[in-house]
Amino acid sequence: MSEQLPLVFAALIGLAVLAYVILDGYDLGVGMLMVGAERAEQDLMVASIGPFWDANETWLVLGIGLLLVAFPVAHGVILGALYLPVAAMLVGLMLRGVAFELRVKAEGWQRELWNWLFWAGSTLASLAQGFMLGRYVTGFERGAEYWLFAAVVGASLSGGYVLLGATWLILRTEGALQQKAIGWARGGLWWVALGVVLVSIATPLVSESVRERWFSYPRMLYLSALPLATAAAWWWVRRSLGRSDGQPFAGAVAIFVLAFLGLAYSLYPYVVIERLTIWQAAADPSALKFVLAGAALVLPFIVGYTAWSYRIFRGKASATDAY
């Protein structure tokens, strides 16, 4: 049982990160799209995420908290290597949080300022998260080419968030704003394709074990189903734009889930690629058992509240949902 606890916590952290990327990803995407909308459209865009965005960020707190307690060695290595982008992400999240609350009360040019800061905070947080992903999948290697790669992945993940945000607006709005969102989604599709391709190429290049896992015969025949399914989901989103309200968002979520599964398969059993395995980084089993009991108590409330809020505020958004 003790040997399985690190696997349980790795799965919990993975699920928390995936939930955060999808749920907070779409509202970060909506924030980045604010600059392309009119004043009334901006209010409706904020209203479409108003009831959910606070709860969405809970998953980030959960994931980082579990990493700190369950894998303290890895927590120190990862956050130590990513200190600056983590700080930039937190600044961006705080900035968008303040802007979200104050834009409602501001008038005139001050309201426009807070709208701009909401966009800036969303963009900064998204770029920082993508940059962290780029550094993580290359094992924090030094060199200008690795930093350039991380910057491109940062832009690609931001484009992926734009895709999630645009498809969310297609689901939650109608009329002229929905038509704009369809155009935004088409652009986001190419960015998310670039990000998936870059990460898929980088991880085998920096790790011999990852390369062996993906390209050994006959395993590669079975694993080919994963990239093929991702490409099919990408095509499904592209084909459903303008034809359905719900299918584009479902397809965008499927792309992120499939990409995450591929990345998880590539990294296992490492929590820091080629440096620390799950078992090497894990805390003492007694600490893991204690934290698991707390997680079992807290998780149902987080999941339940999230499901309840999405059920209550389902359907098309109205301007009052942001207040």
Note the pLDDT of residue 321.
54
**φ, ψ for residue 151, nearest 5 deg:** -65, -40
Q: Which amino acid is at 170?
A: I
Quote the CA–CA distance of 316 and 313 in Å, as a whole number: 8
Q: Is 160's pLDDT higher than 60? A: yes
Q: Can you say how many angstroms the Cα of residue 173 is from the centroid of all Cα atoms in its chain?
A: 22
Instruction: Check if the beta carbon of residue 194 is closer than 8 Å to that of residue 213.
Output: no
For residue 307, is it within any domain?
A: yes
pLDDT at 18: 94
pLDDT, residue 77, reads: 87
State the pLDDT at residue 2.
Answer: 65
Q: Examine residue 148 and state whether it is found in any structural domain, yes or no.
A: yes
Query: Do 223 and 212 form a contact (C-beta atoms < 8 A)?
Result: no
Q: Is residue 106 part of a domain?
A: yes
d(C-alpha 53, C-alpha 141), whole Å: 34
Range of the domain at 28: 5-316
136 within domain boundaries: yes
Local confidence band at 68 (pLDDT 50, 70, 90 cut-offs): confident
Q: What is the mean pLDDT of residues 78-106?
A: 87
When divided into structural domains, the chain yields a total of: 1
Residue 208: per-residue pLDDT = 77
Examine the pLDDT at 69 and tell me if it is beyond 70. Answer: yes
322 is a domain residue? no
SS3 (DSSP) at 174: coil
- The pTM of this model reads 0.92
Tell me how far CA of residue 155 lies from CA of 95, 129, 195, in angstroms: 20, 10, 8
**How do residues 162-207 score in pLDDT, each as one tens digit?**
999 999 999 999 888 999 999 999 999 999 998 888 888 887 877 7
pLDDT-derived band at 294 (thresholds 50, 70, 90) equals: confident
Is 302 a domain residue?
A: yes
The answer on pLDDT for 34 being more than 60 is yes
Looking at the predicted structure, is the pLDDT value of residue 1 above 70? no
The answer to whether residue 323 is domain-embedded is no
> 114 in a domain, yes or no?
yes
